[in-house]
Structure 1
């Protein structure tokens, strides 16, 4: 066939892979306590590559085995992740397994044709795709399975390094949160002899939040730091632009589990600047709408809309401390009052939140301990971005045969 790289063939997805369409079990079988098999209805549990466990079902219907590729068949169609354990899949997913065993190659193939799949047939963007349509999607692949393995090996090397860095970040994030809870919740910060304060008999005094270390106090958050909302020019569609000032959206924060935001997709025109808030790199923001309670550090200058809070002035608290504090209080903060979860975090609720205010020396010591942790997470995140960019540049070239690999 003309135009094909040497040794490559045209075929269909159904010819090279077994495809299992999901079927949702009854809702009463769902649980979060590990009873049964992990259950995947859509992309909620998708990450950069591997799904995580959140929901289970004790009455599984369609079961897929470990290393199956989950493929989203409902909007957004074509997103893929790998499951590292046996699982049940619902109607929002299909499970794919390549017949020749080169599962890594299939994963990268699907990643490379995601946009093609979303626009498959007559240019119409799919909001869903059937099993029959999925099987007939045309693909071009090397006929030689060794070439498939070689392509997958190159791309997997990037993914393995990226996953290692993510794992380091998860470990470091857990370490920082553990230190925070040990020092400021259990009050076992190092005393003058380097021993755990409360467990070593450190003096405690009564407060409205219970016992706290002597010399510490309880104060409303709004009296310890300035809380301000961002702003939005209206109507916002008239100000969105391909260039100009960055425009931070909630989706920019939820796109990555890193505490640091490097990438912001949208921009607004300079004419909208007087109706919004422009923050410098290094600023701490907290989401207060859509997905409220997410703290993030901006690594680039950006404007923020009224779905974000920021903190221009603080008393003794560093942004690192506040990041860990906001992570710690997220759930109780969003479930105030009658127990229902807030969809919007009102500024007044946050300002009136009672917080323990430690002595300045303990805060300074904490910053000395956790600043290197956050610096390492930031550097790892920068490496992940660089590796991902290189991998994403290579992906279409390798998967189209434009760039050949040595066998």
Structure 2
């Protein structure tokens, strides 16, 4: 198919790429040897990291059959959910002696059709391609992607000069997003170092004995009726799957048109609210960085009794020592469930007020900067993800 005005052509993936499966080995073969592209490397990155940090004891034959070269596209072929299937990562250079994981399909360009790897990196992550993959996956116990399904998927390609122009435009946005994410990681690391220096390495023998509930209230989410869930609406529900370690993931949410009358007011979340997971992978903690979100059950809100302690509370629950106590508390239950009441009874040392005030003065701006960065990341991500479909439908053009 050719889009009028632009020489966009549509191909089945098997016309453009050869498919291959990755390397599967026992756990004892990992941690030494040669470079290895893992599942999470692919899942989290548009492009293969410049340096592969994982290692595997691979043979020369395996390195040949599972090699990584510039232009290779890697798609996750299995996942717990169809939304996470077919996540892509593209190699922008050759990786000598490196191999890729067995839960992944490699798409290697046949060489008969000109495709820029930088363009492919954005195309395979575009909402259009992602929706196509999610829609065709075969759900049994796990979502899966086989060669037959790959052959039915399509890629839209303009002329090479336009691919370069599109890739350059999208990459400019992508680099800004990456810079903000790395800045947030640095700020989180810095805040953790300051927290440990002040509160964990300090001689706290004379500090007051207390509990989490001395400084914070732990408020449970509301049990919304699933019959009220919509595919779109005014409000989005924050459930256990949205609360990740250090960030909130709103890529998959249910919607409500209106708030239930019986819902507590605190369940209407505000920017900066601290959330804690109470089920499954318990103890995950993140900050709310978007508006019009509602707190569902099995997620708790950590509310400081004194607003001064907001930054302290978030940093406290990001510490491994508290996470370990929370996980130990949940082990005694059938499904690793945390009780907000029991969690609030965890014993802690209460720092002197002047120390809490010093921490708030120096670190609250840092966490507010993290929130501001998140907002900018959301805006830039939306611009990046919306641009390619607009170019394909001729709603937007790029001057070459």
**TM, length-normalised to structure 1:** 0.78
Q: 1:222 aligns with which of 192, 196, 213?
A: 213
**How many Å apart are 1:27 and its aligned residue?**
3.9
**How many Å apart are 1:363 and its aligned residue?**
0.7
Q: Aligned residue for 1:336?
A: 328
**How many Å apart are 1:293 and its aligned residue?**
1.2
Q: Aligned residue for 1:106?
A: 120
Q: Aligned residue for 2:267?
A: 278
Q: 2:88 aligns with which of 72, 80, 83?
A: 80
Q: Deviations over 1:264-310 (max 9, x none)?
A: 84333547341565244132221111332122223425332221122
Q: 1:65 aligns with which of 63, 68, 71?
A: 68
**How many Å apart are 1:178 and its aligned residue?**
0.9
Q: Deviations over 1:34-87 (max 9, x none)?
A: 66544534x586226357878654347563426643212224332213468955
**Aligned equivalents of 2:54, 2:395: Cα separation in 1:** 41
**How many Å apart are 1:348 and its aligned residue?**
4.3
**Aligned equivalents of 1:182, 1:73: Cα separation in 2:** 44
Q: Aligned residue for 1:149?
A: 164
Does 2:259 correspond to 1:267? Answer: no
1:6-405 equivalence runs, <5 A: 6-30=6-30, 36-41=34-39, 46-47=43-44, 49=46, 56-59=55-58, 61=62, 63-65=66-68, 68-75=72-79, 76=82, 77-82=85-90, 86=95, 88-98=99-109, 99=111, 100=114, 102-112=116-126, 113-120=129-136, 127-142=143-158, 144-187=159-202, 204=203, 212=204, 214=206, 216-233=207-224, 236-241=225-230, 242-254=232-244, 259=247, 265-268=253-256, 270=258, 272-275=260-263, 278-281=267-270, 282-299=272-289, 300-314=291-305, 318-328=309-319, 329-336=321-328, 343-400=336-393, 402-405=395-398
Q: How many residues align?
A: 373
Query: Any stretches of 5+ residues in structure 2 without a counterpart?
Result: none
Question: Given the superposition, is the C-alpha separation of residues 339 and 297 from structure 1 closer, same or farther in structure 2, using an over 3 Å criterion?
Answer: closer
Bigger Rg, structure 1 or 2: 1
Q: What's the secondary structure of 2:397's corresponding residue?
A: coil
**Aligned equivalents of 1:28, 1:380: Cα separation in 2:** 40
**How many Å apart are 1:401 and its aligned residue?**
5.2
**How many Å apart are 1:185 and its aligned residue?**
0.9
Query: Any stretches of 5+ residues in structure 1 without a counterpart?
Result: 188-203, 205-211
Is the CA contact (8 Å cut-off) linking 1:244 and 1:269 kept in structure 2? yes
**Aligned equivalents of 1:263, 1:380: Cα separation in 2:** 18
Q: Give the helix-richer structure, 1 or 2.
A: 2
Q: What's the secondary structure of 1:49's corresponding residue?
A: coil
Question: Given the superposition, is the C-alpha separation of residues 356 and 103 from structure 1 closer, same or farther in structure 2, using an over 3 Å criterion?
Answer: same
**Aligned equivalents of 1:326, 1:392: Cα separation in 2:** 33
**Aligned equivalents of 2:6, 2:307: Cα separation in 1:** 66
**Aligned equivalents of 1:170, 1:313: Cα separation in 2:** 24
Q: What's the secondary structure of 2:155's corresponding residue?
A: strand
**Aligned equivalents of 2:48, 2:102: Cα separation in 1:** 16
Q: What's the secondary structure of 1:378's corresponding residue?
A: helix
Question: Given the superposition, is the C-alpha separation of residues 243 and 26 from structure 1 closer, same or farther in structure 2, using an over 3 Å criterion?
Answer: same
Is the CA contact (8 Å cut-off) linking 2:23 and 2:101 kept in structure 1? yes
